[in-house]
Homo-oligomer: A and B are copies of this chain.
Amino acid sequence: MSLPRSDGRAALALRPIHFVRQFTCHAEGSVLVEFGRTRVLCTASVEERVPPHRKGTGKGWVTAEYSMLPRSTHTRSEREVKRGRPQGRTEEIQRLIGRSLRSVFDFAALGERQIVLDCDVLQADGGTRTAAITGAAVAAWDACTWLQQRGRLAQNPMRELVAAVSVGLLRDETLLDLAYEEDSSCDCDMNVVGTASGGLVEVQGTAEGEPFQRRQLDALVDAAQVGIAELIGLQKRALGLE
């Protein structure tokens, strides 16, 4: 039997999720996404140029950058620019966000242009990478709509929405959408990215301390798939798609 969590949630419940569209005024898509106290500003910028490997192919590209404001966390972190380069963790997360978003794009339909997704964490309480993917998908959708409204695209190059959630094992119980405190005490931390049609894009599970068992892996993926379906429903509502 499952005990309530520190914020009273059930083991398989998401935190309160909010999307604030048009949070800033310059970007073609601009979404503040909240997973509980985690708040990430996701902007989608349309650029009429592509990286070298796409030039002359007629196909577009989607890339992502991720950063945390220095005091988004409990104690202040040094800005990465002071070390002269992003940390390994940052690069790993922005590669993940980029791959996740690219998985739902039809690049021929996008045409030879690029969408840059900037995910800047204003406030962190666990799950910043999954919030970033989930918010970036909404911002990217808005940018695609912006292109269609200006007649620069005939159809939406995003085939479907994509969302992400974390799951973890705490004393053999599966928890959905971990807050920071929970994440720190879990035996296994997994991030799963999935699409509206039920496909899986990324599964990244890591043992913290002890290795985990195959049946635990299966239970974690089950829980994540339920959470992703719920998040995609919330994305659609925010976008007025249903």
Question: Taking beta carbons and an 8 Å cutoff, which residues of A are in contact with B?
Answer: 24-27, 30, 37, 39, 41, 43, 45, 47, 65, 67, 69-74, 76, 79-81, 84-86, 88-89, 91-92, 94-95, 99, 103, 116, 118, 120, 122-124, 190, 194-195, 197-207, 209-214, 217-218, 221, 225
**Which one of B67, B88, B94, B103 contacts A95 once the chains associate, using CB atoms below 8 Å?**
B88
Question: Smallest CB-CB separation from A85: which chain B residue?
Answer: B85
Chain B nearest CB, measured from A46 CB (Å): 9
- How many chain copies? 6
Q: How far is the CA of A26 from the CA of B70 in the complex (A)?
A: 11
Question: Which of B86, B198, B211 meets A81, CB within 8 Å?
Answer: B86
Q: Are A41 and B200 in contact (CB under 8 A)?
A: no
B221 touches A200 (CB 8 A): no
- Given A81-B85, A123-B26, do A207 and B213 touch, yes or no (CB 8 Å)? no
Report the separation of the CA atoms of residues A103 and B187 in the bound assembly, to the nearest whole angstrom.
11
Closest Cβ of chain B to A202, distance in Å, is 6
A89–B37 alpha-carbon span in the complex (Å): 31
**Set B122, B198, B207: member contacting A103, Cβ < 8 A:** B207
Tell me the smallest distance from the CB of A174 to a CB of chain B, in Å. Answer: 15
A160 to chain B, nearest CB (A): 9
15 A–B pairs (Cβ distance < 8 Å), ordered by A: A26-B74, A26-B123, A43-B69, A45-B70, A47-B76, A80-B81, A88-B95, A92-B92, A92-B95, A103-B209, A199-B210, A200-B205, A200-B217, A203-B203, A214-B225
CB pair A73–B26 under 8 Å, yes or no, is yes
